[in-house]
């Protein structure tokens, strides 16, 4: 008898911290259904499910032929998600217009320059294109920043850097 | 490398360990060699089934592209079930293939496998021999599944009749597991089983 009551005591949560429990639940309400982290660049589907846009984008890219909500499997598409803008988010830029760079992917993305010129890199058996984020440098990319602004310049600068990184990488592949 | 997959796996393990749901009590999930791509799961056989009381171990391999692609899961414990290969432990379950969704977790996968044990789908079998027995001789199937649960998953329910038949083949110099497979696949007919083994 003593044993069972002891076992019960040790499994019940210590103290009655109801407030903490509630906070936890509130936090989980705002978690992305894919990475299970707090949603960033949050979007919500027509079926009401919350995601980071980069996460949802990657899910849609993984299965282009079967675009369903990862939670309830309702039909879903890029055009039918609603971006969420919280208070303090002054820019209110639609995350779908940003370049999608899932922050956690370490793999080298495929590069594409302008029209039709596409490269992807791989060494041995490890394909660097596993994570399907793509940078587009060229006129085809709908730029969020108008020409002449600081952001535009910065983006041009970044494109050049990436171009050089790509070239160096190719050289390294050739000579290494 | 610390990507979405690794982060998620760590979170998922914590959620199973600290799980507040009733069904979590019957689940275990842990890393093998501190490597997030390689895990071991364990769940309890569902009550009121031949698998009741057994502990079933799973090998879980997580791809780098998780959760955009499903984990690879197979039984490490030998199981007698139409949707599980009695040889390799491979599992025929739609969510591990084309019905995978990125919001599914290793916890929900384990719970789905647990309910697969309770509700077999013999028309979409992984093991044809087991599926045939399930359809044509459900009582013998249930007894065989219970026997395997007792022997391989530590289930409490002995099937003495089958233990004795296995003993008979062992006495003929046949290895125990081989003997059990031969008997199970030949509806526990000793003659047929020996024929099968020596042909
Ligand atoms: Zn996310
Ligand atoms: Zn949904």
How large is the ipTM?
0.86
Q: How high is the mean pLDDT of chain A?
A: 67
Q: Is A55 on the interface with B (CB under 8 A)?
A: yes
Domain borders along chain A are: 25-86
Interval B81-115: pLDDT, tens:
999 999 999 999 999 999 999 999 999 999 999 99
Ligand nearest the Cα of residue A56 is: 1
For residue B74, the distance in angstroms to the closest alpha carbon of chain A comes to 23
pLDDT (mean) for B30-54: 96
Residues of chain B contacting A126 with CB distance shorter than 8 Å: none
pLDDT (mean) for A73-99: 83
By CA distance, what is A31's nearest residue in B?
B103
Interval A27-63: pLDDT, tens:
667 899 999 999 989 999 999 999 999 999 999 999 8
Domain borders along chain B are: 2-118, 128-198
| Residue in the structure block whose two tokens are 């990475």 | A35
pLDDT (mean) for B167-184: 97
* pLDDT value at residue A20: 55
* pLDDT value at residue A86: 81
Interval B123-137: pLDDT, tens:
999 999 999 999 999
Q: Is A128 on the interface with B (CB under 8 A)?
A: no
* pLDDT value at residue A7: 38
Under the banding of pLDDT at 50, 70 and 90, the label for residue A9 is very low
Question: Does pLDDT of A93 surpass 50?
Answer: yes
**Please, are residues B89 and B119 in contact by the beta-carbon 8 Å criterion?**
no
Annotation: CATH topology of B2-118? Ubiquitin Conjugating Enzyme (3.10.110)
Please, which residues have CB less than 5 A from ligand 1, an ion? Answer: A 32, 34-35, 52, 55
Ligand nearest the Cα of residue A58 is: 1
Interval A125-156: pLDDT, tens:
444 444 444 444 444 444 444 555 566 566 66
Question: Does pLDDT of A97 surpass 60?
Answer: yes
pLDDT (mean) for A2-15: 39
Which long-range contacts does A36-42 make (Cβ < 8 Å, 24+ apart)?
A: A36/B7, A36/B8, A36/B11, A36/B12, A36/B105, A37/B7, A37/B11, A39/A84, A41/A83, A41/A95, A41/A98, A42/A83, A42/A84, A42/A95
- Burial class, A115, CB count within 10 angstroms (exposed 0-12 / middle 13-18 / buried 19+): exposed
For residues A7 and B152, the model is more confident at B152
* pLDDT value at residue A24: 59
* pLDDT value at residue A29: 73
pLDDT (mean) for B46-51: 96
Residues 21-40 of A with CB under 8 A from B: 33-37
Q: Tell me yes or no: is domain A25-86 CATH 3.30.40.10.
A: yes
Residues of chain A contacting B103 with CB distance shorter than 8 Å: 33-34, 49, 70-71
pTM of the model: 0.72
């Amino acid at each position: 008898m003593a044993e069972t009551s002891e076992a019960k005591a040790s499994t019940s949560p210590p103290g009655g911290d109801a407030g903490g429990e509630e906070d936890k639940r509130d936090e989980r309400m705002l978690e992305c259904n894919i990475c299970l982290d707090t949603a960033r660049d949050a979007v919500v589907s027509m079926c009401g499910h919350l995601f980071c846009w980069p996460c949802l984008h990657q899910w849609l890219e993984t299965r282009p032929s079967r675009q369903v909500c990862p939670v309830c499997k309702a039909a879903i598409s890029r055009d039918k998600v609603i971006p969420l803008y919280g208070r303090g988010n002054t820019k209110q830029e639609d995350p779908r217009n940003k370049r999608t760079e899932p922050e956690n992917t370490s793999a080298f993305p495929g590069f594409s320059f302008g029209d039709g010129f596409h490269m992807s890199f791989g060494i041995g058996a490890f394909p660097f294109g596993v994570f399907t984020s793509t940078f587009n440098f060229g006129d085809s990319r709908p730029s969020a920043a108008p020409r002449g602004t600081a952001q535009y310049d910065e983006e041009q600068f970044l494109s050049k850097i990436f171009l050089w990184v790509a070239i160096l990488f190719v050289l390294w592949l050739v000579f290494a | 490398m610390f990507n979405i997959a690794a982060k998620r796996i760590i979170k998922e393990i914590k959620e199973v360990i600290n799980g507040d749901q009733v069904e979590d009590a019957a689940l275990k999930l842990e890393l093998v060699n501190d490597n997030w791509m390689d895990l071991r799961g364990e769940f309890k056989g569902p009550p009121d089934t031949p698998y009741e009381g057994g502990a079933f171990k799973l090998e879980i391999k997580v791809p780098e592209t998780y959760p955009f692609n499903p984990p690879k899961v197979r039984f490490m414990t030998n199981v007698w079930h139409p949707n599980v290969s009695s040889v390799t432990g491979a599992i025929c379950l739609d969510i591990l293939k084309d019905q995978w969704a990125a919001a599914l977790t290793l916890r929900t996968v384990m719970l789905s496998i647990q309910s697969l044990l309770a509700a077999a789908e013999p028309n979409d079998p992984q093991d044809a021999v087991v599926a045939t027995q399930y359809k044509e001789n459900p009582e013998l199937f249930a007894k065989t599944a219970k026997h395997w649960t007792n022997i391989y998953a530590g289930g409490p329910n002995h099937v003495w009749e089958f233990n004795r038949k296995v003993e008979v083949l062992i006495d003929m110099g046949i290895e125990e597991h081989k003997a059990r497979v031969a008997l199970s696949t030949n509806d526990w007919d000793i003659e047929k089983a020996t024929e099968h083994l020596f042909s």
